[in-house]
Amino acid sequence: MEDRQIILQVKNLRQHFPIDGGGLLKKTVGYIRAVDGISFDVYKGETVGIVGESGCGKSTTVRSIAQLYKPTTGEVLFHGVDLCKADKDTLLKERRNIQMIFQDPYASLDPRMTVRNIIMEPLKVYNSRGLLEKKYTDDELDERVKDLMEKVGINKAFVNRYPHEFSGGQRQRIGIARALALRPEIILADEPVSALDVSIQAQILNLISDIQKEMGVTFIFIAHDLGVIQHISHRVIVMYLGKIMEVAGSDELYSRPLHPYTEALLSAAPIPDPKVERNRQRIVLEGDVPSPDKERHCCYFYDRCSKRMDKCAHCVPPMFDCGNGHKVACFLYDDKPVAEPADDQPTEGELKLKEKQEKRQGKAKA
Amino acid sequence: MAIFKKKEIAKNEFDQVIVGTSLTKEAWKRLKKNRLAVVGGVIVIIYAIIALCADLLPIYPYDEAITVHRNLRPSLTKTAGDLMLEQEMKNMFFQAWRQGRLELSDQEDAQIEAWVKASKTNDVWDLVYARGMEAIEDGSFEWNSSEQSRIDRMLNQIATETQITVNRVSVQYEGQTRNIEAMDYEELRDLYASLLGVETDVLEESLYNEVRSSVGNEVRANDSTLSGDDLEAAIDMEMNALGEAGIHDRASTNVIGYIEQLALRGANSDVQALIDSGSIELPYEGTFDLSNGLHVELEVSLMHQRRYICGTDYLGRDLLSRIIYGSQISIAIGIVGTVTSIFIGILVGALAGYLGGKVDYYLMRFVDIMYGLPYMLLVIICMAIFGRNIINLFFALALVSWLTIARMVRGQIMSLKNQEYVEAARSMGASTMHIIFRHMIPNSLSIIIVYSTIRIPAFIMQESFLSFLGLGVQAPYASWGSLIGDAVSSMALYPYKLIIPSIVMVVFLFSMNFFGDGLRDAFDPQSKNQL
């Protein structure tokens, strides 16, 4: 475990979406801080789970890693190459190794393409630009498509069928086959099982673990189902309001959650045993998730935390290393060494906006 | 999507290939269940076939005017001669009634007076004709001598007058037999010069002058205020705009007409001789070799044996044939207009929708501005500036009609842009063009198809409107709108001229709309407002 190779590094990634103030000129009046400065490493061959409630920035994180959005600030280092600053060709070359599986199997497949065309599409895009190992002929690509279909457990006789002729689970398998087509090193799975029935979920999860064992693919796996995450991931990242609250090995996190938010989160997961479930003490958080459109210079969880202290209201907690790869962003553990300092510098856009607002205020006063 | 699909054959029972049903196939199945839409589709196809095959159909030429046959009513049983005679007799009966020779009951007299006041000419004619024929039957009325001789003369005319139609003129030219319609300007000019026995330069000069004077007439027709130097300058400008090719084109058309007339004149005596000798049976088709080297293929028929199922217009042209050739133009305008507007609309809409931002903003503001202009006025101005011909009509209509499609496609693309399969395509590094053409357009195609079937009738209506105003198709060409426009002035006297083209047009528009509705329902199975 010690000589694990880092494959992907996310450094202080921020993804802010501008809010238009309406009106004719579409002035930006603020920013939604979907992801607000997160850093983590991903090691080769592992599965990293990301959990958090709705709107905490899980999907935005993986979409920013895949460069579907241009991150506001921060770095995404893949094999040491910063994808955010890479030019088009490099990006294309590196992207081959980063593929995505999407949440909704009904929306992620083009309804007007046959299964063959869907799975072949990434191959064709790269083949036509000569970025594959060699130039493949159409027949060879066809063979590859059929291999992939077998690998994910779809009858290869169905190549000419259209997505609407498959069930949700089968479609998700097609989506996985498409993600595997380029033999990527890392697959970003954006809630791949949350739209499926529980029985199908298990099949897809097993398929993903099988693929990982067989091909050694690294997964970043998003889910809001804690059971799913526990089952599939080696390490878990807990996110809240665009910030990482806690990072730990899967077993460690579930047996010994450190952050108050993680505790609350875990206590919300039902236990499939009525007796235990009835006697269990649940931690119920007060209030709602606050809106992510404000700049915060306190702990992001401050408003709802049951263990808040004065300190929490004034500065953003850094990540404290609790040993064994367990890191937590909470001042309860400030006796532990700091792993990563907190960074709450505003972004360029925000600075400009502030300047403008100050000017306007100054004028108003004058 | 692939047009050339490799055919896959099952090799053995383990290696079966299952062909999927695409969304389009399913839509097609649903469409076939919608009976109204199928009937509409079939009618549209029949119209299209008839319009396409107009040249092959046994109908009279749409621009052949026989003056004595003007304004004949539609009849399935009677020939043109019968109808002419009937009309003549109606007139004479009416005169006889005026003179008091044809006696009717007092009640009927009063009725006729009332009709005359209300200018219900047809009713008057029908009544006097019916009563007059009865009177002749029972012997209470006889034609006087001048009337009788008129009738006899007419009967004789009907029995003997022939119509000669030139089908083809060919000539032995440089060792080859050539159809004159396939010859170019220089060849035609040389041929005509040698036929007339004049110098080529002289002929060229006169042909040029002819074109110039016809252009001059057009210029004067467009703007009657011009005169003197202004007029000359305007004509010069028009001539320059035509260019050498355009002038030669017009001159060629003129020369072909002259040569045909020459051939007709040359063959006329031969044909007459044949008819007089009684050695041929009419209708007759034959080829004549003239002394000046022309070969004419002719069709000789008894002029008054013609039958006009839909009647004739004010110049004696067959209305049926004009309607069929008119549908050619009307449907062509519908289709060409729709196709061009779809091309422009898809391109603009897809770019605006997918690229978004400033591109979207400026393109859409341009569309908004175009929307703001009164588009019919724009079309009318276009037609007035660039001249009234069919190409300009296509151009003018296409110019303003892509706006709605562009907006629609933009909206569709914007909603598709955030679909996960588009994100998937982006995450695998597909280019913008790939995404637009492979994912966006195929997925918005159903809406585009539906919309375009609904656009075709709209185009036909617009063209009809313009033609009705006299801005659309120019004579001798016809379109449904121009036929209706022509008929309006004599609506009371000859209502069939208005009714028949209107019915033809309405049936087409109805079936096109039913077909379009059916397509919409078929492509959108979620919509619940189906029958």
pLDDT of residue B208: 87
Q: Cα–Cα distance between B111 and B130 in angstroms, integer? A: 15
pLDDT of residue B505: 93
Q: Cα–Cα distance between A180 and A174 in angstroms, integer? A: 10
CB < 8 Å from B in window 64-83 of A? 66-68
- Please give the backbone phi and psi of residue B306, each rounded to the nearest 5 degrees, phi first: -65, 150
pLDDT of residue A366: 74
Residues (pLDDT < 50) of chain A are: 1-2
> Chain A residue closest to B23 (CA)?
A112
Residues of A with CB below 8 A from B20's CB?
114-115, 158, 160-162, 165
Q: Cα–Cα distance between B264 and B389 in angstroms, integer? A: 30
pLDDT of residue A1: 45
Which of B153, B155, B187 lies closest to B170, judged by CA? B187
Q: Which of A67, A109, A162 sits opposite B21 (nearest CB)?
A: A162
Average the pLDDT over B351-364 and give the result.
89
- Tell me whether A109 touches chain B (CB under 8 Å): yes
pLDDT of residue A43: 92
pLDDT of residue A236: 94
- Give the pair of three-digit tokens for residue B21: 């049903």
> Chain B residue closest to A101 (CA)?
B424
What sign for the dihedral angle of Cα A263, A267, A272, A276? Answer: positive
Question: How far does the CA of residue B22 sit from the closest CA of chain A (Å)?
Answer: 6
pLDDT, tens digit, 9 for 90 and up, residues B176-202 = 777 877 788 888 888 888 878 888 888
**Residue B526: pLDDT band by 50, 70, 90 thresholds?**
low
Which of B181, B179, B201 lies closest to B255, judged by CA? B181
Report field, pTM of the whole predicted structure over 0.80: no
Q: Cα–Cα distance between B34 and B523 in angstroms, integer? A: 12
Query: CB distance B443–A112 less than 8 Å?
Result: yes
DSSP symbol at B318: B
Question: How far does the CA of residue A221 sit from the closest CA of chain B (Å)?
Answer: 16
Q: Which string of b and e fits B50-83 if b means at least 16 CB within 10 Å?
A: ebeebeeeebbebeeebeebebbbbbeebbbbbb
pLDDT of residue A47: 92
Q: Which residue has the tokens 């090995």?
A: A249
- Tell me whether B343 touches chain A (CB under 8 Å): no
What sign for the dihedral angle of Cα A53, A56, A60, A62? Answer: negative
Query: CB distance B427–A178 less than 8 Å?
Result: no
Q: Which residue has the tokens 């656009």?
A: B455
List all residues 6 or more positions away from A233 whose beta carbon is below 8 Å from its beta carbon: A47, A48, A49, A219, A221, A250
B9 pLDDT above the threshold of 60: no
What's the ipTM? 0.84
**Residue B500: pLDDT band by 50, 70, 90 thresholds?**
very high
Q: Cα–Cα distance between A183 and B189 in angstroms, integer? A: 73
Q: Which of A125, A126, A160 sits opposite B17 (nearest CB)?
A: A160
Question: How far does the CA of residue A300 sit from the closest CA of chain B (Å)?
Answer: 30
B7 pLDDT above the threshold of 60: no
- Cα A171 vs. chain centroid, distance in angstroms? 21
- Tell me whether A108 touches chain B (CB under 8 Å): yes
CA distances from A173 to A95, A132, A152, A193, A211 (A): 21, 23, 6, 11, 12
Q: Cα–Cα distance between A70 and B171 in angstroms, integer? A: 75
Residues of B with CB below 8 A from A107's CB?
419-421
> Chain A residue closest to B443 (CA)?
A112
SS3 of residue B163 by DSSP = strand
Average the pLDDT over B307-327 and give the result.
88
Give me chain B's average pLDDT, please: 83
Q: Which residue has the tokens 């050539």?
A: B178
- Tell me whether A103 touches chain B (CB under 8 Å): yes
> Do A241 and A292 touch, CB atoms closer than 8 A?
yes
B399 pLDDT above the threshold of 90: no
pLDDT of residue B503: 94
- Give the pair of three-digit tokens for residue A338: 């700091």
B8 pLDDT above the threshold of 70: no
pLDDT, tens digit, 9 for 90 and up, residues B87-118 = 888 888 888 888 888 888 888 888 888 888 88
Which of B442, B450, B435 lies closest to B515, judged by CA? B450
Q: Cα–Cα distance between B362 and B289 in angstroms, integer? A: 68
Average the pLDDT over B453-462 and give the result.
87
> Do A298 and A316 touch, CB atoms closer than 8 A?
yes
List all residues 6 or more positions away from B121 whose beta carbon is below 8 Å from its beta carbon: B115, B492, B493
Query: CB distance B429–A162 less than 8 Å?
Result: no
Which of B420, B363, B230 lies closest to A192, judged by CA? B420
pLDDT, tens digit, 9 for 90 and up, residues B247-285 = 888 888 888 888 888 888 877 777 777 777 776 766 777
Which of B323, B295, B259, B330 lies closest to B60, judged by CA? B323
Element (H, E) at B272: helix B228-277
Q: Which string of b and e fits B224-253 if b means at least 16 CB within 10 Å?
A: eebeeeeeeebbeebbeebeeeebbebbbe
